[in-house]
A and B are shown apart, each in its own frame.
Chain A
Amino acid sequence: MPEPLTAEPGNPERGRLVVRDLGAASCLICHAMPIPEEPDHGDIGPPLHGVGARFTPAELRQRLVDPKAIDPDTVMPSYYQLEGLRDVLGRFVGRTIYTAQQIEDVVAYLATLTEDP
């Protein structure tokens, strides 16, 4: 997914804040990340240290927008996808988990994670 979703380039500092927002289906629910000020990182998915070195921004964007395009059975939610969902809780109907700008900000942040723990 090489094309950014927004005209405004992703902002990595904002992306880090987006990911820390625990009310917003945070990646920390499932992944360890180099964010030591937040306790209790999950271990459902692999640690995200070093993902910026392992994946291009285009690959990271695909991962966030719709990881089911890569593996339909994954438990990782699609953060920018409305298709195929059922029984969505009222206040989230018709809304993606992240906005387009939030996706770009998080992609920009992940791209800075070039070091293994």
Chain B
Amino acid sequence: MRAALTLAALGAVLCGALGASAQEPDPTPRPPISGYDYMARATQELQDDDFVNPGFFAIDRGRRLWSEPAGASGAACADCHGAEGEGLVGAAARLPAVDPQTGALMNLEGHINDCRESRMNAEPYVYESEDLLALTAYVSHLSRGVPVAVAVDGPAAPFFEQGRALFFERRGQLDLSCTQCHDARAGQMLRGDRISQGHVNGFPIYRLKWFAMGSRHRMFEWCNTSLRAEPFAPGSPEYLALELYVAWRGNGLPIETPAVRR
């Protein structure tokens, strides 16, 4: 009787172990904690006060561009999405998402450029240009406080899997993966940086190290090149898929744009 019970218990343990090896346990920290909580008080204070937060220079520029007619159409963003952006409140929290028309994964930058090209007959902005950062910051700021809620099922599932694979892949001369720092070692010090969970709810961020705003993809590029790995191009399919995975890790975190980071 006792032996039978023990065997049954052992069987359960073995099955559990096999189950675990077939499907890697998800190391994502739950609940997610914003990068804000890992910053020094002085950096948090810069973010907290809209009048000193340097990200607001970009937002002001974005607000101006919002209502400026552009391209051959002579239309402005405001003509379609509302003078105060009311039509796009919450949009930044749901992106990236698969575009039902084309089946492509699109982030906010992609949507802005798509509107310019196909609806305004205007040149697309260069990724990381001051104007694209400004509009991205303005539109993201409209969602400040809205919880991130990206969908990763249905048509998004293959992109999600691609992004997940990139997050776990060891790359570069230092041979490290995103998960090794941002899942396993959040809170620890990498020289002067306290490693956060690597969420994107504050982007575009004003990064003190850069003296400038930067997009989500610029941050991926920075982390990749710090590992002495060849980065992907901003706006590339790889970084879009990675952005979807990284945004999903932070589902539930409020949008904080414009965040200030070290």
A positions within 8 Å CB-CB of B = 22, 25-26, 28-30, 39-44, 68, 75, 77-78, 84-90, 92, 95, 97
B91 contacts chain A at the CB level, 8 A cutoff: no
Q: Give the 8 A-B CB pairs with smallest separation, nearest first.
A: A40-B192, A77-B174, A89-B228, A87-B171, A92-B173, A43-B189, A87-B230, A40-B191
Which chain B residues lie closer than 8 Å to A77 at the CB level? 173-176
Tell me the nearest residue of chain B to A84, going by C-beta.
B175
In the complex, whether B188 has a CB less than 8 A from a CB of chain A is yes
Q: Counting CB contacts under 8 A, is B73 at the interface?
A: no
Q: In whole angstroms, what is the CA distance A43 to B234 when docked? A: 31
A-B contact count (CB 8 A): 65
Measured in the bound complex, the distance between the Cα atoms of B176 and A68 in whole Å is: 12
Q: For B228, give its contact among A42, A75, A78, A92 (CB under 8 Å).
A: A92
Chain A residues near B225 (CB-CB < 8 A): 89
CA–CA, A9 and B230, complex, Å:
35
Determine which residue in B170, B171, B172, B174 has the highest number of CB atoms from chain A within 10 A of its CB, and name it.
B174
B168 → A minimal CB distance (Å): 12
14 contacts between A and B (CB under 8 A): A29-B190, A39-B192, A40-B191, A42-B188, A44-B188, A44-B190, A68-B175, A75-B185, A85-B173, A87-B230, A88-B173, A89-B173, A89-B231, A90-B230
Question: Does B118 make an interface contact (CB < 8 A)?
Answer: no
Q: Which of A26, A39, A40: most chain B CB closer than 10 A? A: A40
Are B228 and A29 interface neighbours, CB within 8 A?
Answer: no
**Closest-CB distance, B222 to chain A (whole angstroms):** 12
Find residues 177-196 in chain B having any chain A CB closer than 8 Å to their own CB.
Answer: 180-181, 185, 188-192
Is B229 an interface position by the 8 A CB rule? yes
Least distance between A29 CB and chain B CB atoms (Å) = 5
Query: From DSSP, what is the main secondary structure of chain A's interface residues?
Result: loop
Closest chain B residue to A91, Cβ basis: B228
Q: Which residues of A contact B185 (CB under 8 A)?
A: 44, 75
Q: 0/1 per residue, B144-188, Cβ < 8 Å to A?
A: 000000000000000000000000011111111000110001001
Q: Which A residues are in CB contact (< 8 Å) with B173?
A: 25, 77, 85, 88-89, 92, 95, 97
Q: Least Cβ distance of B193 to chain A in Å?
A: 8
Q: Judge whether B176 and A75 touch: CB under 8 Å.
A: yes
Q: How far is the CA of A78 from the CA of B192 in the complex (A)?
A: 22
Closest approach, in angstroms, between the C-beta of A86 and any C-beta of chain B? Answer: 6
* Contact A88–B188 (Cβ < 8 Å): no
Closest to A45 in B: B188
Kindly report which residue of chain B lies nearest to residue A32, judged by CB atoms.
Answer: B189
Distance in Å: Cβ of B191 to nearest Cβ of chain A? 5
Shortest Cβ distance from residue B1 to the other chain A in the assembled complex, whole angstroms: 41
* A42–chain B nearest beta-carbon distance, Å: 5
Nearest chain A residue, comparing its CB with the CB of B230: A87
Contact A86 B189 (CB under 8 A): no
